Structure formats: C-alpha cells, structure tokens
Structure 1
C-alpha cells in the first residue's frame, strides 16, 4: 500500500513538469534519461451498463548509457493506473499503479538488442494489427494467463529474455520466458517475424507471423488449476496506401490440461481499417470474431466505429461505439460467467475519452 501511494504521488508531482520536456537528464558521455506518460479521462457504460468515468494515468522512464560506439545499456519502466497487469499486484485493485513494462538490456546497434524482464515483446508486431482502438481490448492470445498469470496479455510477461533485430525490410524477435515466483511457469518461448514489401504506387504490405509456447510447472500447490500448456500461433498483415491502413489477423491458441479437462481452443479473426482524413481527424473501424471450443465457450462478435480528433499533436478526443453480438462464456471450475474486457460479450457500449500524452 505504501509503495502504491508513493508511486501515485510521484505521478501527480512529476506530471506538470514533464509536459515541458521529455528529456530530464543528458550526460557528457551521451547518457540520457527520458520521462513520458499519458493522462486521460474516459466516460463509458462499458463495465456496468451505467455511465461512469475513469481516470487513465501512465508514467514511463527510459534510459540509455553508451559503453562504446556500438554498445549501450538501455532500460525502461512503465506503470499505469487501472492496468490489468498482475506482475506486481496479483489482486489488482482498481487504483493500483502496476507495471506494464519493466526491463533492462543491451543495444548492440546493427547486432540487435537483448532485453530482459517484462519486455516490450516482439509479438506486438502481430497483435498491433488489431490493437488500433482507444476503446477496445486485445483478445488474441487471451488464454496465455491460464499458464502464467503475469501474461495478462500475450505480449507482456515477467521473466522474459528477448533478442530483436532488423535486416533491411525484415524485422524479427525471439524470446525465452523464464518466469518467476509470481507464477507457476516452467518455461516458455516465442518468436515473431515481419517483412515489409514496398510496392511503390500500389502501397506497402507488411505480413507478420507469430508463435508462443508456454508450459506450467505442475505441483501440489499449482495455481494453474490443471492447465499444463499454452500454444499460440498467428498470421496477419497490414496494408498501407496513402492515408489508409487496412489490417487482418488470424490467431489460434490451445490450452491443454493435466486433470482430464478437454483442450480449450480459441480461434480469433480481426479486421481493422484506419483512415487519416487530415492532420486533425482519424476514423477507425473493425470487426472481431472469437470463438472458444472446449473451454469457457466465450464468443465475441464485435463491430467497432471510432473517431479521433487531435486538439494538439499530443492530445486527442476519442468517440467510439462498440456493437457486441456475442455471448458470455462460463468458467468450468467456478460456474461463473466469463465476459471480456470488463463487460458482457452481448452488451454494446460507447466510449468517450480525452487523452493527453507527454
């Protein structure tokens, strides 16, 4: 509690100063420390069906310290209020300031980057195809948490060692997931690969493939409720033409159990479109279909329409309407209803948000 309150006070104290400058330290040896973040307020009937307002606060610190001409030490820590993360607070109170990313590593220039901790996963190259809305949640890979509760989303997990590099138009990453005492993870690994094809006047195409495998360390006191392994794979692409971006992804993942439960399989399709009308206005639309078999049997059929108006280059107003036509699942162990993103899969909702980034 004391740590949480301290971090909240730090956020409130630092925010006004950080609006003026992101770089807070620069040494003669080239060392630098930057602070960045996000402040916002959202009005929605998403979670309860009744209109309510929520504060949105995020604070990040990044640093770089050169060792020589080709090697630098790098690190980042990012915390958020109302985050769904479990890394530092498994119970996760609504006003908790919890870690989204905390990592340190080496930047070896053309030889790539090695980072360790709760890293910015290379899987983001894939998940970002569908993650374009200020108003919606990431569904692809949602079952990763059954093996590792720190993986509240498949692209953020504790105890990860990752290597990333680019060769021309080819970007790739690979990682080994060690885990820690916050979870019962035995081991895991993932990889992602993206190639950007420049087609001149016909635009650009950026196909991506992604894969992850995690396995639980089963024991008498295991917290995975019999979940033994998680296998995730996906393929997708983005297409860019002028001010238009189109995206499609397909992912499939399976959780296997050691206690006789049937395999739980998610299949997920997502279509997205983003169009920059001008420097002030951007509109987005998307459709998501997720179906689970053998597990909670959650079904998502979400259609999203969103508009963004930029008050400044770093502050925006968002308005969105999310039409939901799916159905909630059911937890096989507790019998409780399984929703998604804090609201029923069958209940439509709207979202109004003001966001200031620094």
Structure 2
C-alpha cells in the first residue's frame, strides 16, 4: 500500500512540464514510466528588434519521458528528460531540439527530494505568478544568461543540485549550481520559500520569496562576473479567480560590463475561469534597466482561452507594448529577439497528452 501511494505521488513531484505527465506503465512494485507531450501551432506578428511584424506560423512542441523506480517504502529513484522540438525550418538552429529539463534524483517521500542536472528551478514558484499567458514571454531574471550561457533565465541551469520539500503549507527549495564545463560557475546558489494561508471562504493567499547569486571563475567568455537576483510576490485565489503580484530585480557586474547593470520589474496578473469552456486573462508588466542595455518593457496583455477538451485549447491574445529597446551600451544586450516597442497578436492551438 505504501509503495502504491509513493508511486502515485511521484508524478506530481516532477514539476514543470511533467506535471501533466501520463503514467504509461506501472510495475508490480509501484515503479512507473511517465510520458508528456505538447503540440501546438501559433500565428503571430511578433517581431524581434529591427524586424517588421509580418504574420508567421510557428510549430511549438515539447516531449518528455521519465518516471520512478521504487527502492523501498520511503525512497524512489526518479528522473525526467524534456525537450522543445522545432519545425523543419528551425533545423540546425538552437531551437530545433533543445533540452528544457534533464535530471535524475532521489525522492525521499516526506523527507523531500534531491535532483541533479538541468532541473526545474524552485524560482518557478515566483515566476509562475506572472507566467500565465500563452502569448507573452517571461523576462524575470533576463540578465542571467550573461553569467551562465546554459541558463534559461532563472528557470533552469545545467549542473544544478537541488533539494525541495513541502512541510504542511510551506514549500521550499534550495540549490547549488555547479554549471557545465563551459558556464564556469563558482559559488552559485538559490533559495525559495512559499507559504499558503488558508482563509476559508475568503480563499487562499500564498506569499513567495526567492534569491539567487551567481559568480564565475577567471576563465571563459563570462569570466569574473557576479550576478544577484531577488524577488517577492503574492498569489490570491478565490473560487474561479486568481490574482498575482510580483516584484523582482537583478544586477550584474564584472568583466566586460561598465559599472553595474540593474533590472527592476513588477508584474500584475488576473485569471478568471468564466465557465468550463472559457478562461480570460489580463496582466501588466514593467521593467526598467539602468547601467546596462537601458531596455524598458511596458506590456499590457489581454488573452482569452477556449477549452476544446480538458487538455486542448485555442488561445487568442493581444499584447500592447510601450517600452524601449535600449542602446545595448554598458552591458551586452540580452533578449534581442524580444522587441519591446511593437504590439503583437497571438492565435494558437495547443494539444497536450
């Protein structure tokens, strides 16, 4: 019985992407094999810096495989590999077949889990407050790529050792980041905490705080750089309404950077499940950089989702942008694919299984 309960709990612990994984095989001892796939097609006139916003169609897919092997009533070996898959025109580019999460670990039941590799960072507990739209990107921790070339912002970095646990209403995560052979991490780490208050008929309130620090060694393209990130936010849920608010800032200094490049940003989001078929979302995001590329984001996003099935939807969105792309002076420009000045629309079909 304990093995069965453990096997049922493991897929829920596989976090980002694999949270919707399906178990395709269960052994007699409770060991499982889980798969996940997301297929989508998007039409958008979104443009990069210096580009015209002509409508294009993009294929968007993810595929993942993982599972668990039961050691005893308390311990399982777990692992997950998930990749983004691009269309034929992306072949030979960084977007054609790229790893999102690739890790192995140990799940110790109530003692928590330890994962090793390109893990789903605990900072996702913070970024999820703003990452609610099918259309818009996430800019939280955007400067991290200047200190770790393996990083996808703060969500995932190669060579991470991470411990996570839930103690009643408190969720926590701590990680030490070794990096890979090229990212040259030296004393990099993060820590995240979230507590969910049950307000009874008034809903739930969940504050979250996060901190990350990265440093590099004396060699490599990103040598002798120091990076810090911190953020705090709140999520409030009442029946079909979810509200989110978040503030964060990050800064980087060191070799190749004149002074200190600092981002300060905040985000506000609202999600309302109108009925079983329709969901509406709205949000506002502002970011200002000083001492670096001088970029500013001022985005208002409106989005409607129609649920074709429990796992498949059509999304239609419009993003109004009133920012500035910046000069790129002081620090290397980041997110050059992300035009802060041009509005864009998004129409997408997404199918998950």
> What TM-score do you get using the length of structure 1 for normalisation?
0.87
1:40–1:55 contact (8 Å) kept in structure 2: yes
**1:232 equivalenced with 2:236 (yes/no):** no
Instruction: Please give the secondary structure, in 2, of the residue aligned with 1:296.
Output: coil
Aligned counterparts, 1:253-272, within 5 A: 253-258=250-255, 261-272=258-269
- 5 Å-filtered alignment, 1:43-82, equals 43-47=43-47, 48-82=52-86
Match of 1:298 among 285, 295, 299: 295
SS at match of 1:152: coil
Aligned residues: 326
| Residue deviations 1:218-245 (CA, integer Å, cap 9, x gap) | 22xx212x66111000000100111100
Distance 2:297 2:156 in 1: 22
Distance of 1:260 and 1:127 partners within structure 2: 26
For structure 2, the residue ranges without an aligned partner over 5 or more in a row are 1-20
- Taking a change above 3 Å as real, the CA distance of residues 341 and 192 of structure 1, as seen in their structure-2 partners, is farther
| CA–CA separation in structure 1 for the residues paired with 2:205 and 2:246 | 13
1:343 matched to which residue of 2? Answer: 338
Q: How much does 1:53 deviate?
A: 0.1
User: Structure 2: how far apart are the matches of 1:334 and 1:246?
Assistant: 34
| DSSP 3-state at the match of 1:122 | coil
Assess if the C-alpha contact under 8 Å between 1:184 and 1:223 holds in 2: no
Farther-moved stretch of structure 1 (178-187 vs 190-199): 178-187
Aligned equivalent of 1:317, options 303, 314, 317:
314
Residues 235-294 of structure 1, C-alpha deviations (whole Å, 9 max, x = no match): 001001111000000001110114561100000100000000001100000000000000
After superposition, residues 1-358 of structure 1 pair within 5 angstroms as: 22-47=22-47, 48-82=52-86, 93=93, 95-219=95-219, 222-224=220-222, 228-258=225-255, 261-332=258-329, 338=333, 340=335, 342-358=337-353
> Structure 1 residues 169, 92: closer, same or farther in 2, change over 3 A?
farther
Provide, for residues 20-71 of structure 1, a one-character-per-residue CA deviation record: whole Å limited to 9, x for no partner.
x933322222211111110010000002400000001110012100000000
Residue matched to 2:17: none
Question: How far did residue 184 of structure 1 move?
Answer: 2.5
Higher relative contact order, structure no. (Cα contacts within 8 Å, ≥ 6 residues apart): 2
Give structure 1 stretches of 5+ with no counterpart: 1-20, 84-90
Cα distance in 1, alignment partners of residues 336 and 318 from structure 2: 15
CA distance in 1, matches of 2:181, 2:283: 38
User: In the aligned structure 2, how far is the partner of 1:260 from the partner of 1:343?
Assistant: 21
1:187-224 Cα shifts (integer Å, max 9, x gaps) = 310000000001112111000000000001122xx212
Q: 1:294 to 1:82 in 2, by over 3 A?
A: farther
Separation in structure 1 between the aligned mates of residue 26 and residue 336 of structure 2, nearest angstrom? 40
> More deviation in 37-46 or 185-194?
185-194
Deviation at 1:81, TM superposition (A): 1.9
User: How far is 1:331 from its partner?
Assistant: 2.3
C-alpha contact 2:225 2:255 (8 A) present in aligned 1: yes
SS at match of 1:186: coil
Distance 1:260 1:316, change over 3 A: closer
Distance 1:268 1:286, change over 3 A: same
CA–CA distance in 1 between the matches of 2:144 and 2:242?
A: 28
Q: 1:239 to 1:227 in 2, by over 3 A?
A: farther
In structure 2, what is the equivalent of residue 4 of structure 1? none
3-state SS, counterpart of residue 312 of structure 1: coil
